[in-house]
Every structure is written in structure tokens, then in C-alpha cells.
């Protein structure tokens, strides 16, 4: 029932994702969400810790691209100073942004991980294209209106998964 909603992995934050772990999985690139995945949805710029993480990924040969449903001004302001390519108004979970990310990374879908904080946008869309999916715990406790609706549905999915004995990042803390 949840085939497209189940991520391959749950992690508590982006920093739990290491180049070594990705390389063991044959992952050479990351498509990542921005808001509440890399930074809080209302934080304009990257944190120092995130900048270091991105440098570590780059040094290891892991390519990174941001795919965000947010507007161009928001995503460009965040991504350009970091030298990271981006896709704005991605309309996730539709396939176009994920496919564009695959093409821009120049990799096969099985060589790419999608990292995001939402089941209904990030995980569902990436699973449909055959990407390795990693669900992170949202970095902020607050959300925009549309995301609040998604979180309501996610809580129902997580509760059903718990009843079925499946672990989520909620249990990994």
C-alpha cells in the first residue's frame, strides 16, 4: 500500500549522511530538498555546519543539486553562494524536477539519492523514478500551510507503519 511513500532510509538529519555510506550504496549524486531538509524553511542562508557538509560531499566526488518547490528568488539566494545548481518551483512529487536533476547530475537514477523531509513530495516523487530515498527529520517544528497538510497525512502513515512494526526516524532518536 505504501510502496511509493516508503523511503529506503530514515535519518535524523542531513549530517548523518556520509560520503562513505553513499559510496557503499553506489550513490554518486544527491538531489536534495531545501526547506526543512537543509535548513529551516524561514532561514535564508546555509549554516556553517551545512557548508562544511557540502564541502565534504564535493571533496568525495558526490554531486549535489537542490530541487525545491519554493520560488526562484528563495532557492537562488540560498544555492548560488554555495555554487550548487538548483531547480525551483519543482512541483514535487511530479517527475519533471527529479528527471531534470538526474539529467543535470549526469548519472543514472540508481546512482542518485533524494534527500528530503516529506513523504508526499520528496520520497513519493523520487521513488517513482527509482532513486534511493532518504527521509530526514524536519529541521524546524513549524511549516507553511501546504506542508502542514502533508504533515497531517504523514503522521497517519507513520502511525500505520508503527502498527505494522516498521521503524521510522521518530523511533531512532
Query: Chain-centre distance of CA 28, in angstroms?
Result: 15
Whether residue 65 lies inside any domain: the answer is: yes
CATH of the domain at 41: 3.40.50.1000
- Tens digit of pLDDT at every position of the chain (173 positions): 566 778 999 999 999 999 999 999 999 999 999 999 999 988 999 999 999 999 999 999 999 999 999 999 999 999 999 999 999 999 999 999 999 999 999 999 999 999 999 888 899 999 999 999 999 998 876 555 556 666 667 777 767 767 777 665 555 44
Number of domain units in the chain: 1
CA neighbor of 32 nearest in space, from 49, 48, 53:
53
Q: For the residues of 7-40, what is the DSSP string, one character each?
A: -SEEESSGGG--HHHHHHTT--EEEE--BTTTB-
pTM as predicted: 0.85
What is the pLDDT, as a whole number, of residue 169? 52
Torsion, Cα of 45, 79, 67, 52 (10° steps): -70
Residue 1 lies in a domain: no
Question: Is residue 150 included in any domain, yes or no?
Answer: yes
For residue 106, give its domain range: 9-171
CA distance 80 to 169: 31
Q: Residue 38: count other Cβ atoms within 10 Å of its Cβ.
A: 28
Amino acid at each position: 500500500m505504501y510502496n511509493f511513500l516508503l523511503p529506503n532510509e530514515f535519518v535524523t538529519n542531513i549530517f548523518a549522511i556520509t560520503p562513505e555510506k553513499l559510496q557503499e550504496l553506489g550513490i554518486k549524486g544527491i538531489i536534495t530538498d531545501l526547506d526543512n531538509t537543509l535548513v529551516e524553511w524561514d532561514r535564508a542562508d546555509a549554516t556553517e555546519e551545512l557548508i562544511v557538509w557540502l564541502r565534504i560531499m564535493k571533496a568525495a566526488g558526490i554531486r549535489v543539486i537542490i530541487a525545491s518547490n519554493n520560488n526562484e528568488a528563495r532557492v537562488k539566494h540560498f544555492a548560488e553562494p554555495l555554487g550548487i545548481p538548483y531547480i525551483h518551483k519543482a512541483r514535487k512529487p511530479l517527475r519533471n524536477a527529479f528527471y531534470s536533476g538526474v539529467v543535470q547530475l549526469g548519472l543514472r537514477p540508481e546512482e542518485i539519492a533524494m534527500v528530503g523531509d516529506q513523504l508526499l513530495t520528496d520520497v513519493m516523487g523520487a521513488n517513482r523514478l527509482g532513486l534511493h530515498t532518504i527521509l530526514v527529520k524536519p529541521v524546524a517544528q513549524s511549516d507553511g500551510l501546504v506542508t502542514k497538510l502533508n504533515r497531517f497525512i504523514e503522521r497517519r502513515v507513520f502511525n500505520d507503519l508503527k502498527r505494522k512494526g516498521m521503524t521510522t526516524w521518530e523511533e531512532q532518536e
